[in-house]
Chains A and B, each alone.
Chain A
Amino acid sequence: MSKQPDPFRAGIERGWKITNGAEALPHTVNCDVAIVGTGAGAGITAELLTKAGLNVVLLEEGPLKTSTDFNQKESQAYADLYQEGGTRATLDKSLTILQGRCVGGTTVVNWTSSFRTPDATLKFWQEQYGLSDFTTAALAPWFEQAERRLNMVPWEVAPNLNNEILRTGAHKLGIAAHVIPRNVNACWNLGSCGLGCPTNAKQSMLVTTIPTALEAGAQLFYLTRAEKFEIENGEVKSLECVGVTANGTPVPHKTLRIQARHYVVAGGAINSPALLKRSKAPDPHDLLGKRTFLHPVAFSAAVFEQDVEPWAGAPQSIYVDHFLNVDPIDGPAGFKIEATPLHPGLASKLMGNMGPTLAARFKDYPKTQMMLSLVRDGFHPESAGGTVYLKPDGTPTLHYPLNDFVLDAFRRAMVAMAEIQFAAGAKMVRPVHEQAQEYSSLTEAKAGIAKLEMTPQMTGAGSAHVMGGCTMAGSEDKGVVRPDGLHWQVKNLSVHDGSVFPTSIGANPQLSIYGTVNRMATQLAKRLSGKDVSLA
């Protein structure tokens, strides 16, 4: 348990309006705007709408945990802060998905990497999705405000060795490597970002926008699932909610009906389209839940002579974009390379194998460096992403085929990562793949990787970036929502989260969500209140 000051708990003691839905719920609540979710999109929206004087209700399915609760233990973090207790995966289980589920959403557990939406991605959106106002210049002030509000600046401290190896190897190969901007303030460099920041250094929604909204009078209901909208004649009439236990089981007789002027869905990709599907929201062009993207991630482990301690220090501080620019954006998939922090649980997953082999790999754990390549998906006809379905109990599942197009990028990424790791002095490199051997030279690695059967289950794959499923577009035949986030067919419903992206971003998406939603929510605040507000 962290012994550091906890401003959120201090706010609760000051009388913030917060309700545990598993314990008690009022029958009905009326408000100006109901926001589903408390993550990146929801937080920005809540701050701006409350600044405009609107009466806001926030709904969070996950628990409320604050810095005092964050004990830097994976056992507690995965159970308390992640979707499905840390076990969310695609339907065929070939790809694991790390996604937040708590007050503050994924911003509580992300690794703080902060990138603006790349120009190439925005150009694709302009050309293919009619998003003419999504230019680099038009979005710049919205990103700039978010960066200022959340203190996003390039990491000034020396990278940990897990990241420095990426920079060293890239430079030796003549490849550019850059420092990652992070949303932190007085960071202790602990390396526990993925487990909830125990010092409140990370400028997540939990310590920034949500407290601001609560201080301005917003109401927060946690352990409260938005079950479905009642939609009539192109208008939401109400939102039905239910109290849930920590693992998401509905609590009998704990229900809440919310009536609002406007409703904002910001539960994150997978969850937002699922809510709209449960609500039978109009979907005349069969787009809802489709084109869900993941930045599928390939991994490569390397063992060095010296201790790397891959659990210590800022998780991500160096990146390489070289391999995003080798081919055209709509050609073979490019990939972004970053480091992967390794606490023991995540290490056990990525080290793979079992018995004596697993033991030998753990013997090298302190000397292990783990690299990742996130594949830019959604820009090619063979990269249509996944589809969100509802299970019989109404909860979502994502079918994302790990197809040959993606796996071709994985093979190229494995070679690229091995080359960088060897250039940095690795004694041994092993791609995360069931058939992979321990390669002691680049020549050996290239030959070995060429022989790997690149198939789902056999190939290690993960994701921490879920995007799409409620595509925004300039015309209704291509999008679930308009460029300003308003639903094309339902007049008092908006979507404000990463599910609106028409493709993946090609970079860690948190700042893309903040910047996009900053503009959407500022416009919404003006429409509902007549007031001009600003994030920073």
Chain B
Amino acid sequence: MTTPTASSPASPKRRWLLKTALVVSAFGAAVGGGIFWKRGLSEGRLTASGQAVMRGVCLAVLSDILPADPAQREARVQAHLVRLDEFVAAMPTSSQQELAALLGVLANAPTRLMVVGMLSSWETASPQEIHKALENMRLHGNTVDMLSYHAVRDVTALAFFTNPDNWSLAGYPGPFDI
């Protein structure tokens, strides 16, 4: 057996404290709300600014899965935003609060720049621009960046691919009718 290394500089305990400090400072500020005017969720549903973030993430994460035809593509995106509200509603209140805080961080320009590194707003950024920013968070970010990427990426993917209306886009034939 080897000896535990709880007191070493690289110990999990130390890393945990560092991560906690980062997360608390970023998200705590958003929850406090004093400097942020755009909130991500209200009464368990996406706000307009929350929708803008998730729409942008959807276009980047699902880009080549969505139909090429603009009208069909837009219809899928709109349906996805409706599905997101349903998905969020199943989450407990505390998780909704975490997501609301994160979307607040991503929606407001100063913290969007800090976490996403994107100058353009979610409404004006191109899917390629958003993809590039998310890719940077995915591979080269600090803990908060990576955590933020996974949160919005996974909520997007899970809400989209668990929706039976999108099974055909996934290549899943659906279950047996019993």
- Residues on A lying within 8 angstroms of B by beta carbon are 2-4, 72-75, 78-80, 84-87, 92-93, 188, 190, 192, 198-199, 246-249, 311, 330-331, 343-345, 347-349, 353-356, 358-360, 362-363, 365-366, 380-382, 384, 391-393, 395, 399, 401, 403-404, 434-435, 457-458
* CB closest chain-B residue, reference A250: B93
B-chain residues with CB within 8 Å of residue A384 when the two chains form the complex = 4
Q: What are 19 A-B residue pairs whose CB atoms fall within 8 Å in the complex?
A: A75-B163, A79-B86, A80-B90, A85-B91, A86-B90, A87-B95, A92-B19, A190-B175, A247-B89, A330-B1, A348-B161, A348-B170, A354-B135, A354-B138, A355-B63, A381-B2, A381-B3, A384-B4, A399-B16
Q: How many whole Å from B146's CB to the nearest CB in chain A?
A: 4
A393 and B92 CA atoms in complex are apart in Å by: 11
User: Is B151 in the interface zone, CB < 8 Å from A?
Assistant: yes
User: Is B112 in the interface zone, CB < 8 Å from A?
Assistant: no
A-chain residues with CB within 8 Å of residue B139 when the two chains form the complex = 434-435
Q: How many whole Å from A65's CB to the nearest CB in chain B?
A: 13
Q: How many whole Å from A227's CB to the nearest CB in chain B?
A: 15
B-chain residues with CB within 8 Å of residue A72 when the two chains form the complex = 175-176
Q: Which 3 A-B pairs have the closest CB atoms?
A: A85-B90, A359-B64, A79-B90
Q: How many whole Å from A448's CB to the nearest CB in chain B?
A: 15
Is the CB–CB distance between B171 and A363 below 8 Å?
yes
Q: How many whole Å from B75's CB to the nearest CB in chain A?
A: 18
B-chain residues with CB within 8 Å of residue A73 when the two chains form the complex = 162, 164, 175
Is the CB–CB distance between A2 and B178 below 8 Å?
yes
Of A192, A344, A404, the residue contacting B162 (CB under 8 A) is A344
* CB closest chain-A residue, reference B44: A247
Interface size class of B (residues with CB under 8 A): 35 or more
What 12 additional pairs, Cβ within 8 angstroms, besides A349-B158, A355-B63? A2-B178, A92-B23, A92-B147, A93-B147, A247-B91, A249-B92, A330-B1, A344-B167, A355-B64, A358-B157, A359-B64, A392-B94
Query: With A199-B178, A349-B157, A434-B138 known to touch, is A74 a contact of B93 (CB < 8 Å)?
Result: no
Query: With A92-B16, A246-B90, A247-B92 known to touch, is A192 a contact of B175 (CB < 8 Å)?
Result: yes
B-chain residues with CB within 8 Å of residue A355 when the two chains form the complex = 60-64, 131
User: Is B143 in the interface zone, CB < 8 Å from A?
Assistant: yes
User: Is B36 in the interface zone, CB < 8 Å from A?
Assistant: no
B-chain residues with CB within 8 Å of residue A93 when the two chains form the complex = 147, 150-151
A-chain residues with CB within 8 Å of residue B158 when the two chains form the complex = 78, 86-87, 345, 348-349
A380 and B157 CA atoms in complex are apart in Å by: 36
Is the CB–CB distance between A381 and B1 below 8 Å?
yes
Is the CB–CB distance between A248 and B92 below 8 Å?
yes
Of A311, A391, A395, A457, the residue contacting B147 (CB under 8 A) is A457
A-chain residues with CB within 8 Å of residue B19 when the two chains form the complex = 92
A138 and B36 CA atoms in complex are apart in Å by: 62
Which one of A87, A360, A403 has the greatest number of beta carbons of chain B within 10 Å?
Answer: A87
User: Is B21 in the interface zone, CB < 8 Å from A?
Assistant: no
* CB closest chain-A residue, reference B171: A365
Q: How many whole Å from B72's CB to the nearest CB in chain A?
A: 16
Is the CB–CB distance between A395 and B65 below 8 Å?
no
B-chain residues with CB within 8 Å of residue A87 when the two chains form the complex = 91, 95, 158
Q: How many whole Å from B14's CB to the nearest CB in chain A?
A: 11
A359 and B135 CA atoms in complex are apart in Å by: 15
User: Is B160 in the interface zone, CB < 8 Å from A?
Assistant: yes
User: Is B5 in the interface zone, CB < 8 Å from A?
Assistant: yes
User: Is B123 in the interface zone, CB < 8 Å from A?
Assistant: no
Of A4, A246, A347, the residue contacting B170 (CB under 8 A) is A347
Is the CB–CB distance between A365 and B172 below 8 Å?
yes
User: Is B12 in the interface zone, CB < 8 Å from A?
Assistant: yes
A399 and B164 CA atoms in complex are apart in Å by: 34
Q: How many whole Å from B9's CB to the nearest CB in chain A?
A: 13
Is the CB–CB distance between B90 and A247 below 8 Å?
yes
Is the CB–CB distance between A188 and B178 below 8 Å?
yes
Q: How many whole Å from B102's CB to the nearest CB in chain A?
A: 10
Is the CB–CB distance between A84 and B95 below 8 Å?
yes
Is the CB–CB distance between B93 and A247 below 8 Å?
yes
Of B1, B2, B63, B162, the residue contacting A74 (CB under 8 A) is B162
* CB closest chain-B residue, reference A359: B64
Is the CB–CB distance between A356 and B164 below 8 Å?
no
A358 and B5 CA atoms in complex are apart in Å by: 39
Is the CB–CB distance between A345 and B162 below 8 Å?
yes
Is the CB–CB distance between B63 and A356 below 8 Å?
yes
Is the CB–CB distance between B63 and A457 below 8 Å?
no
* CB closest chain-B residue, reference A310: B172
A92 and B144 CA atoms in complex are apart in Å by: 10
